């Protein structure tokens, strides 16, 4: 006699765009999740590159506990975390601030030797409108390159720095009230221009306008024409999705295959998010 196997309920996953991004309904991230659900969420992340869990109610303790089911939380190097939870970075734009933190296309802290595998961002206070976040699929960006360009880039590595002027500008308001005492230009890394995702095996374009300055073995002037082309190429609308935040929404994105860009279009309003980044491996 065949034994019946308990079938776990499938996640309610609703894609928000053709390129990437999906909302997941029916999960309470404040509760202890079983292994099957954790595995399903992780698979959804790999499939959609960025996932959104609406209507969560997360204390710092519960957000950290949820994050730890998917990786090891890292401490951001330039801005203070919460006093009792240094792994949680408050991302705050105050009413009087003009610059929004990280307001440029980027992958998180790619200037580290082991950049984070993913980032979780939880919405606590939002403006009445504006403050959306764009995401871009870097698998698609790679796939759309010509064979000749793929061949050229396949053997190259790029140098990434934490102190590129445009990204330094986006940190100025946050650094005024939450700096850990660093200037923000201390870190540098060397990573392949084409990254192979360690879980999916797919190739992704791994440069970004915020941190990438040149190819290894070339000058900035020599690198600029190709990098400028790639910076434009990798954010084509067909590769992107746009997420409109709601109170309690939790976003979780794969930093190895997606870039993001928080839009700075809500001057005079306050926006507060709690961010956790999860430790990654050395890109290869």
User: Domain holding 273: CATH number?
Assistant: 3.60.130.10
Residue 65, domain member (yes or no) = yes
Q: What is residue 2's predicted lDDT score, i.e. its pLDDT?
A: 47
Residue 227, domain member (yes or no) = yes
Question: Could you tell me if 114 and 72 are in contact, meaning their C-beta atoms sit under 8 angstroms apart?
Answer: no
Residue 80, domain member (yes or no) = yes
Residue 3, domain member (yes or no) = no
Q: What is residue 79's predicted lDDT score, i.e. its pLDDT?
A: 83
User: In whole angstroms, what is the distance from residue 181 CA to residue 77 CA?
Assistant: 10
Residue 2, domain member (yes or no) = no
Tokens 């024409």 locate to 225
pLDDT in tens, 245-265: 999 999 999 999 999 999 999
Q: Kindly name the residue from 108, 195, 256, 274 that is annotated as catalytic.
A: 108
Which domain does 55 fall in, by range? Answer: 12-278
Q: What is residue 185's predicted lDDT score, i.e. its pLDDT?
A: 74
User: In whole angstroms, what is the distance from residue 78 CA to residue 174 CA?
Assistant: 10
How far is residue 161 from each of residues 7, 28, 110, 188, measured CA to CA in Å? 48, 38, 8, 4
Cβ count within 10 A of residue 222? 12
**β-strands 118-125, 89-93 pairing:** unpaired
Question: Could you tell me if 256 and 197 are in contact, meaning their C-beta atoms sit under 8 angstroms apart?
Answer: yes
DSSP state of 244: -
Q: What is residue 8's predicted lDDT score, i.e. its pLDDT?
A: 47
User: In whole angstroms, what is the distance from residue 46 CA to residue 200 CA?
Assistant: 7
Q: Is 244 labeled as catalytic in the residue annotation?
A: no
Residue 7, domain member (yes or no) = no
How far is residue 44 from each of residues 27, 48, 50, 142, 149, measured CA to CA in Å? 13, 6, 8, 21, 30
Task: Provide the domain count of the chain.
Answer: 1
Q: Kindly name the residue from 171, 260, 271, 274 that is annotated as catalytic.
A: 260
Residue 176, domain member (yes or no) = yes
Q: What is residue 167's predicted lDDT score, i.e. its pLDDT?
A: 72
Residue 201, domain member (yes or no) = yes
Q: Is 214 labeled as catalytic in the residue annotation?
A: no
Q: Residue ranges of the chain with pLDDT lower than 50?
A: 1-8
Roughly how many angstroms between the first and final C-alpha of the chain, as a whole number? 49
Q: What is the DSSP string of 31-78?
A: SPPPHHHHHHHHHHHHHHSEEEE-S----HHHHHHHHHTTS-EE--SS
Cβ count within 10 A of residue 176? 11
Q: Is 202 labeled as catalytic in the residue annotation?
A: no
Q: Kindly name the residue from 48, 106, 214, 256 that is annotated as catalytic.
A: 106
Q: Is 173 labeled as catalytic in the residue annotation?
A: no
**What pTM was computed for the model?**
0.93
Q: Kindly name the residue from 42, 171, 195, 275 that is annotated as catalytic.
A: 275
């Amino acid at each position: 006699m065949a034994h019946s196997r308990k079938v776990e309920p499938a996640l309610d996953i609703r894609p928000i765009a053709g390129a990437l991004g999906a909302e997941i309904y029916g999960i309470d991230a404040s509760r202890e999740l079983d292994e099957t659900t954790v595995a399903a969420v992780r698979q959804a992340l790999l499939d959609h590159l960025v996932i959104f869990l609406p209507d969560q109610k997360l204390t710092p303790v519960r957000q950290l506990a949820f994050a730890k089911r998917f990786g090891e939380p890292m401490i951001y190097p330039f801005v203070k975390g919460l006093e009792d939870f240094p792994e949680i970075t408050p991302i705050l734009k105050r009413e009087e601030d003009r610059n929004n933190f990280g307001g440029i296309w980027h992958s998180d802290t790619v200037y580290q030797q082991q950049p984070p595998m993913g980032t979780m961002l939880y919405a606590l206070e939002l403006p009445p409108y504006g403050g959306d976040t764009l995401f871009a699929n870097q698998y698609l960006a790679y796939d759309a390159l010509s064979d000749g360009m793929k061949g050229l880039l396949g053997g190259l590595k790029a140098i990434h720095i934490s102190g590129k002027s445009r990204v330094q500008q986006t940190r100025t308001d946050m650094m005024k009230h939450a700096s850990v005492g660093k200037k923000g230009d201390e870190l540098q890394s060397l990573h392949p221009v084409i990254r192979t995702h360690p879980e999916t095996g797919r190739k992704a374009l791994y440069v970004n306008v915020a941190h990438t300055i040149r190819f290894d073995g070339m000058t900035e002037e020599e690198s600029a024409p190709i990098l400028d082309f790639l910076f434009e190429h990798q954010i084509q609308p067909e590769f992107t999705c746009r997420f409109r935040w709601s109170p309690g929404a939790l976003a979780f994105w794969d930093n190895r295959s997606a870039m993001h860009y928080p839009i700075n279009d809500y001057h005079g309003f306050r926006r507060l998010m709690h961010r956790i980044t999860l430790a990654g491996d050395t890109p290869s």
